[in-house]
Structure 1
Amino acid sequence: MRHFDLSPLYRSTVGFDRLFQAIDQFAGADNAAPAYPPYNIERTGDNAYRITMAIAGFSDKDLTIEVRENTLNVKGEKAEAAEEGRAVLYRGIASRAFERRFQLADYVVVKGASLENGLLHIDLAREIPEALKPRTIAISTPAANARQIETAVEQAA
């Protein structure tokens, strides 16, 4: 039997939680290790999410965050400064360029981003338009309408 790894889809989408949880349970998929840079996707509320990316060595000037057509694109490009008189013997802190894309569900918007201690936090929220939110409809009964008509007729007479 074939095993389909759906973890790349799960890791790069936000707002499709129930769908991918059901697919994971059905397929029995396990999550593979993410590629560079490592990141977390957290649910911080009923309609709030946070993406946290570990981007040590990058400053806010090296990063570009763009949202286009339900796709969040985070790009990092480090401008290499000329290091005169220094030779790096071992480079363990990765500062290579990266581009990470996340598919956003409908009505998920980016609320803000912050860079703190080498972690990039991107806050997201699902904002459903009023026209699509459920609303309660009052139920009228025929007996109440009949009483109103009888009272109106008696007052007219």
Structure 2
Amino acid sequence: MQQQLISLSPDLARLEAEGFDISVDGAYLITRRLPYVDAQKKVQYGTLICVLTLATPTRTGQPQDHTSYFCGETPCDSLGVGLTGLVNNSNKQQLTNMLVADHYFSSKPASGNYPDFYEKVSTYAKIIGVQAQAIDPAVTWKPLKQ
């Protein structure tokens, strides 16, 4: 079912084709290995989690909102200063039995909503990833699956 959802949803298929490490866990789209900067100005890798909206059982719909969860330390800019404009709160949240988020992100596009999950995930990945790229030019905000 997970692979069918990814292959039949153009937005998820595009994320996967571009090297994003995505999976579906129940009601969540999980993107692993996203580079970010920690407070010590070191590149780390975290996980972005979005509530998954379905149009049909085998195809995604438009994301329900502009927020996401994040597993990892507080993402910072290249100087080690927390991205306070991105982090809505840093309260641990148990999303599933196996999935605990450390932060809740909010980055609302000018249009109000993301048109699809490709735009949502790639926007968040770029926001935190360009900071990591500033520290290590070899880092890409479009990580390759490992």
The question of a shared fold, defined as TM-score above 0.5 by the shorter chain, is answered with no
Which of structures 1 and 2 has the larger relative contact order (alpha carbons within 8 angstroms, sep 6+)?
2
TM-score class, shorter = under 0.3
The two structures have a TM-score, normalised by structure 1, of 0.24
The two structures have a TM-score, normalised by structure 2, of 0.25
